[in-house]
Chain A
Amino acid sequence: MTDLYRKEEQVKKEQLQEIITDLTRPMNNTGKSFKIWIGFLLILICAGGIMYFRQLVNGLAVTDMRDIASWGLYISAFVFFVAVSLVGSLISAILTLSGIKWATPLTRIAEIVAVAGLFSALAIIVIDMGRPDRLLNIFVYGRLQSPIVWDIIVVNTYLVISLLLLYLPLIPDIALLRKNMGHKPKWQQKMYKILSLGWQGTQDQFKLLNLSITALMILIVPVALSIHTVTSWLFASTLRPGWDSTIFGPYFVAGAFMVGTAAVVIVMYFIRSQFKFKEYITDYHFNMMGKLLVLTSLLYLYFNINEYMVPAYKMKPLEGEHILGLFTGDFSLMFWLVQILGMILPIILMIFKPFRKAKPIMIISVFIVIGAFFKRFLIVVPTLLHTYLPVQNYPESYQHYNPTLAECTITAGSVAAVALVISLFIKLFPIIPIWETAHEKGISNETINN
């Protein structure tokens, strides 16, 4: 009897070791392509940094924003990053709380996408400021009447909760790394030692950990909804045609779930193909993420119909001018490309199962993410160009907005920063939760601890 038990124990141990070896593979094997990738990202970020330095010296004149189009690419990117970050709450909280098991290996991917998105959101909003040197004025003179102050409060709250939701489930894994990463440089081992907080894996500790994670998951749902709702209010709280809408909150939230899900699919695909994680990120996961993407896209389509069809039916003068600008005017090409390639076509394709296989759905997701970026641009810029009063006695260029090289480079740098944070995280921590995977394979805590 004890022999049988011991044998079983031995099998489990080997199984665990296999899981650990598999899931720490991205941390141990750094291929050439990865180094090129990081180098590429660093070049983009440095180029953005140089351009930002130029902007600091010469002022926002280096952008094409002027008195009419006073917000542009930076604010579009800000809304985009906040949108992407919402997926953290969707996958790691909403799905998990609903008792959906398949999402477990994806929670950490979703959380790191969220955290990386938030970092860039915070960076780009400071980049957009005319006087970044006065950033602290927000804390010294902050006024609660301003939606910007609400946004600062909720975005930072969301960042803290997201960081905790990323970190807490990592603790048992870091404790495992402490034992299994002896060949790593000293600083890295020291980091694991500190971050594991002396985790022993006792019953009590697990109980406390699970309780904390559940509490955070419940807490993050309303905070997540509010970050994007409040971000939409930056626009909806004004009197400008195209922004003056009551459905902007849910419209933005639905769009955020769509782009965030697509972003996670892209990250999943590259992790799986790069590190041969076929066993852990399976076709089933892509299939389910595809279904989730159809659901969120349909929701977004519904809000799009509301947002564009109702004013288009009434054609109130200024609203009508704005809508026509999108449908047939200056922005029509971008508008229809975004709506068709970034939303309608993906929905139709993903309804069919073959398109929910790993590669097709990744390609579809790339279209959705790019489309979502330009969609934010279409929300921010055209409204500003459609003023109530005629634009006169300004240079002709004020009637248009074409982002300059400086703006494009800085924005590209901020997007690269999101990719860099995710890539470095994969190198330092297991991107797929080890202990949760082990638990699902029926390996007990005792085995993990020993």
Chain B
Amino acid sequence: MGEKEKDKSRRKFLLDFGALGMGSLVASSLLTESCSKIGPGPGKKVTLLNSKNELVEVDSLYISTLNKNLSPNHNSEGRKGLPGKKFVLVVDLGKCKNARKCMDKCASVHQLRPDQHHLNVLLMQDSEHTAPYYMPKHCQHCDNPPCVKVCPVDATFKRSDGIVLIDNERCIGCRFCIAACPYTARSFNWYEPKDAEKYKDVPYNIELNVPQKKGTVTKCTFSADCLREGKLPYCVSACPNEVYYFGNVYEDAVTNGTTGETVSLSGLLAKNSAYRLMEDLGTAPSVYYLPPKDRALIPEKDNENNSDDIKRKS
């Protein structure tokens, strides 16, 4: 065995062990000291993203470059759904007091500008003689999504767990999905995104849909990053008024984000005569609404800035 061959096999050995994680990384880097094919000099700290999506600092001494063929799309895992899940959101319109904690939380985690909405609380009035009510409106994560159909590059897609996401590293900015969405659920980065400079070096996370990228479309993710960790979506847990239930259709269970109480989905929907928005369009949304009866707060049209554009839902 020549010197070269030896080197190769040692590298292969290191590669195999490198995958075991930080512990083995440290061990292997000790072994590779003689190879000295490592980053900048000792003492320098390097920021890395680990598999838990946390930013960690490591001394550059302990880093060795693994010559492994990584998947070209690091977010490819995010394109698949969580197995055995089909997510559903239930919005109790009777409970909404327009507190907007959900909107604020959403805008902050998704780094949205004030004129961008993944989630928008609307003041609705179905007809002249019916009472107005507040309606939080997310992306409906349709099972027959008109937006996904029209995307020319597969940038926006539907996962097996029902979530519709968008890949901001692939989107070409044609805005066909915005035009096609009957729920006005999507937003475009017309401007340089908020805090673009601050997040310049942060790697893109497809499930969180950040950092935002100029010239691409952004949308509600059902907080897919939270769901992967078994947590409720940001908006659901931010609500102080027990408006949101979130859960898994296959388990027939939804959990209230405020009280933490878990109830039967089918029971909740049946008891309250739940409905979906624009059922007749055939988009098959994953968001259910419980009609606004026994409301805690009946909104008055006059003290709203937007009262001129209250419409019936179709």
Contacts and interface: CB of A to CB of B under 8 A. Distances in A.
A68 B179 CA distance: 8
Given A131-B215, A234-B176, A390-B123, A67 B183 contact: no
Interface in A62-91: 63, 65-68, 70-71
Given A129-B172, A384-B179, A60 B309 contact: no
Nearest to A144: B152
A70 B172 contact: no
A390 B186 contact: no
B190 A148 contact: no
Contacts of A148: 150, 152, 174, 176
Contact of B190 (A59, A143, A240, A392): A59
B150 A388 contact: no
A239 B146 contact: yes
Contacts of A128: 174
B122 A392 contact: yes
Given A61-B190, A67-B188, A393-B120, A240 B151 contact: no
A55 to B, nearest CB: 10
Contacts, number: 158
A173 to B, nearest CB: 40
Contacts of A392: 120, 122-123, 306, 309
Given A59-B191, A59-B192, A238-B180, A395 B115 contact: yes
Contacts of B312: 317
A210 interface: no
Contact of A130 (B115, B123, B151, B172): B172
Interface string B278-291: 10010100000000
A71 B179 contact: yes
Interface stretch (A134-142, A287-295, A354-362): A134-142
Contacts of A59: 189-192, 214-215
B71 interface: no
B154 interface: yes
Given A135-B172, A388-B278, A392-B309, A67 B216 contact: no
B137 interface: yes
B262 to A, nearest CB: 30
Given A61-B190, A131-B215, A391 B309 contact: yes
Nearest to B186: A67
A389 B184 contact: yes
Contacts of B149: 145-146, 237
A387 interface: yes
A389 B135 CA distance: 10
Interface in A411-438: none
A322 to B, nearest CB: 13
B309 A146 contact: no
Contacts of A317: 312, 314
Given A60-B190, A317-B312, A141 B170 contact: yes
A388 B117 CA distance: 16
Interface string A259-293: 00000000000000000000000000000000000
A316 B171 CA distance: 35
B140 to A, nearest CB: 11
A200 interface: no
A399 interface: yes
A142 B153 CA distance: 5
A61 B123 CA distance: 28
Report whether over half of chain A's contact residues are helix, strand or loop; otherwise say mixed: loop
B173 interface: yes
A187 interface: no
B298 to A, nearest CB: 18
B124 interface: yes
Contacts of B153: 134, 137-138, 140-143
B252 to A, nearest CB: 29
A318 interface: yes
Contacts of A387: 182, 184
A149 interface: yes
Contacts of B314: 317-318, 388
Contacts of B215: 59-60, 129-131
Among A129, A131, A145, A394, the most chain B Cβ lie within 10 Å of the Cβ of A131
Interface in A110-150: 128-131, 134-135, 137-138, 140-143, 145-149
Contacts of A71: 175, 179
A70 B181 CA distance: 11
B26 interface: no
B178 interface: yes
A394 B137 CA distance: 14
Contacts of B46: none
Given A59-B189, A131-B216, A146-B151, A389 B311 contact: yes
B178 A67 contact: yes
A376 to B, nearest CB: 15
Interface of A: 58-61, 63, 65-68, 70-71, 128-131, 134-135, 137-138, 140-143, 145-149, 152, 234-235, 237-240, 317-318, 384, 387-395, 398-399
11 contacts: A60-B190, A60-B215, A67-B115, A67-B178, A134-B172, A147-B150, A148-B150, A388-B311, A390-B124, A393-B306, A394-B117
Given A71-B175, A237-B150, A392-B309, 17 more contacts: A59-B214, A60-B173, A70-B188, A134-B173, A137-B172, A138-B152, A143-B152, A143-B154, A145-B150, A147-B176, A148-B176, A238-B150, A238-B179, A239-B182, A388-B314, A389-B184, A390-B310
The 8 lowest CB-CB distance pairs between A and B, nearest first, are A130-B173, A130-B215, A392-B306, A148-B152, A146-B152, A141-B153, A70-B178, A131-B173
